């Protein structure tokens, strides 16, 4: 398993603003989308490309075109915040949805919705901003594997906890993780420290 943590001044800046308690939902959405661009670019660094010939106004030349389209799978609700970043950069992305909700007491994910398309020939990006215990991320990847055959699966998150990284490494060792930050630990009720609180609530303006 590979864990890549973004190391770019813009990523650090955006993440610091997301973490701040006072950031309102409108700003939170905008920051998420911009940080999402950086995450998606990193997660697609090794997409398959094909060599083609094109005509510039000057002469014929060789060029590259992407030969591995994407399927984005946001995990509801919080993963919706990262979806626009994928479709902004890769407009021919197709989209599947997984609804998972963590039980506040047991911290186990409960799945309440799944609508996944065929994924043949596409790279699957599972989008979930918070990788805490890893229960939701692991369940989301398992759903994708059970349903479809993408060329590969990558997991994209904004904040990862060591516990969640270890869980994905154990359950899905072949799935690379791209994260905005690797934080210190989980607290006693499964929240990431220092973290940024409840991502879904902050994104959607709910409490």
Q: Which residues bind ligand PRP (CB under 6 A)?
A: 75-78, 100-102, 107, 109, 128-137, 164, 190, 199-200
Told to check if 15 binds ligand URA by CB under 6 A, we report no
Told to check if 150 binds ligand URA by CB under 6 A, we report no
- C-beta of 25 vs 121, nearer to ligand URA: 25
Please count the CA atoms within 13 angstroms of the CA of 155 that sit on its side-chain side: 35
Q: How many residues can be counted in the chain? A: 207
Told to check if 40 binds ligand URA by CB under 6 A, we report no
CB of 19 to ligand PRP, least distance (A): 16
Told to check if 101 binds ligand URA by CB under 6 A, we report no
Binding residues among 44-83 for ligand URA as defined by CB under 6 A: 78
- 82 Cβ contact partners less than 8 Å away, ≥ 6 residues apart: 32, 33, 36, 39, 40, 74, 127, 129, 156, 158
- 64 Cβ contact partners less than 8 Å away, ≥ 6 residues apart: 49, 50, 51, 52
58-94 residues labelled b (16+ CB within 10 A) or e (exposed)? eeeeeeeeeebbbbbbbbbbbbbbbbbbbeeebeebe
Please count the CA atoms within 13 angstroms of the CA of 162 that sit on its side-chain side: 7
Which one of the spans 26-34, 45-53, 112-120, 185-193 is the region binding ligand URA (CB under 6 A)? 185-193
CB of 190 to ligand PRP, least distance (A): 5
**Angstrom distance (rounded) from CA 111 to CA 136:** 9
Which of ligand URA, ligand PRP, none binds 40 (CB below 5-8 Å, type-dependent)?
none
Please pick, from the candidates 27, 68, 84, 198, the single residue that binds ligand URA as defined by CB under 6 A.
Answer: 198
- C-beta of 71 vs 126, nearer to ligand URA: 126
Which one of the spans 40-48, 60-68, 89-97, 188-196 is the region binding ligand URA (CB under 6 A)? 188-196
- C-beta of 29 vs 92, nearer to ligand PRP: 29
Residue whose C-alpha is closest to residue 123's, from 163, 72, 86, 164 = 72
Told to check if 160 binds ligand URA by CB under 6 A, we report no
Residue nearest to ligand PRP (CB): 200
Contact call for residues 179 and 196 (beta carbons, < 8 A): no
Told to check if 195 binds ligand URA by CB under 6 A, we report yes
């Amino acid at each position: 398993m590979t864990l890549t943590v973004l190391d770019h001044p813009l990523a650090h800046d955006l993440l610091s603003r997301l973490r701040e308690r006072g950031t309102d939902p409108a700003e939170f959405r905008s920051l998420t989308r911009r940080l999402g661009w950086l995450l998606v670019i990193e997660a697609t660094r090794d997409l398959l490309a094909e060599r083609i010939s094109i005509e510039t106004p000057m002469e014929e030349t060789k060029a590259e075109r992407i030969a591995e389209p994407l399927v984005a799978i946001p995990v509801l609700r919080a993963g919706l915040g990262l979806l626009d970043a994928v479709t902004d950069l890769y407009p021919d992305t197709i989209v599947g949805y997984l609804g998972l909700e963590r039980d506040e007491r047991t911290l186990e994910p409960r799945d309440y919705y799944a609508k996944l398309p065929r994924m043949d020939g596409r790279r699957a990006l599972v989008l979930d901003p918070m990788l805490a215990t890893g229960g939701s991320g692991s369940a989301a990847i398992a759903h994708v594997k059970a349903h479809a055959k993408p060329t590969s699966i990558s997991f994209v998150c904004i904040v990862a906890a060591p516990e969640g990284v270890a869980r994905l490494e154990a359950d899905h060792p072949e799935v690379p993780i791209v994260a905005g930050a690797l934080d210190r630990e989980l607290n006693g009720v499964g929240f990431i420290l220092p973290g940024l609180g409840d991502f879904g609530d902050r994104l959607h303006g709910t409490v």
